Amino acid sequence: MQRSEIMDQVRHIDEVLQRASDVAQRDASVPPEFKRSLDALGAQMVEARRELNNATDDARIVQCIDTLEAFGDRAKHACEHTGVTQPELRSAVLQAHSELSNLKHRLH
């Protein structure tokens, strides 16, 4: 898989998560634990994009995606266990998690 494909996929996932984060921040009924996990994943996305731009070897790229997928797991878990009921939030987190998992498996 080429770096440009990876970057495109990460950029797409980041856009999905940014829209979800915007919704979550505007909705006071969203559990704080879920907001924190979404914020942590968003921060990790920023870090990952910076690292992917500077990565010089495939192992570093794989490690970066593995880390993102772990943060995606946490966000999915928080979504499922904190009572998030907003369909757009659930859908965004599950989509991001699925896409990160697929990306990780394509790289391994």
Task: Convert the pLDDT of each residue in 51-105 to its tens digit.
Answer: 999 988 999 999 999 999 999 999 999 999 998 999 999 999 999 999 999 999 9
Split into its structural domains, the chain has a count of: 1
Average pLDDT score over residue span 33-37:
95
Predicted confidence (pLDDT) at residue 24 exceeds the cutoff of 90:
yes
Q: Cα(12)–Cα(101) distance, rounded to whole angstroms?
A: 14
Q: What is the CATH number of the domain that holds 35?
A: 1.20.120
> Hunting for tokens 């880390």 — which residue is that?
67
Average pLDDT score over residue span 15-41:
94
Q: Which of 12, 11, 36 has the alpha carbon at shortest distance from 24?
A: 36
> Hunting for tokens 């994009």 — which residue is that?
49
**pLDDT value of position 1:** 86
**pLDDT value of position 55:** 87
Q: Which domain holds residue 96?
A: 3-107
Q: Cα(13)–Cα(7) distance, rounded to whole angstroms?
A: 10
User: What sign results for the dihedral spanned by CA atoms 85, 12, 15, 97?
Assistant: positive
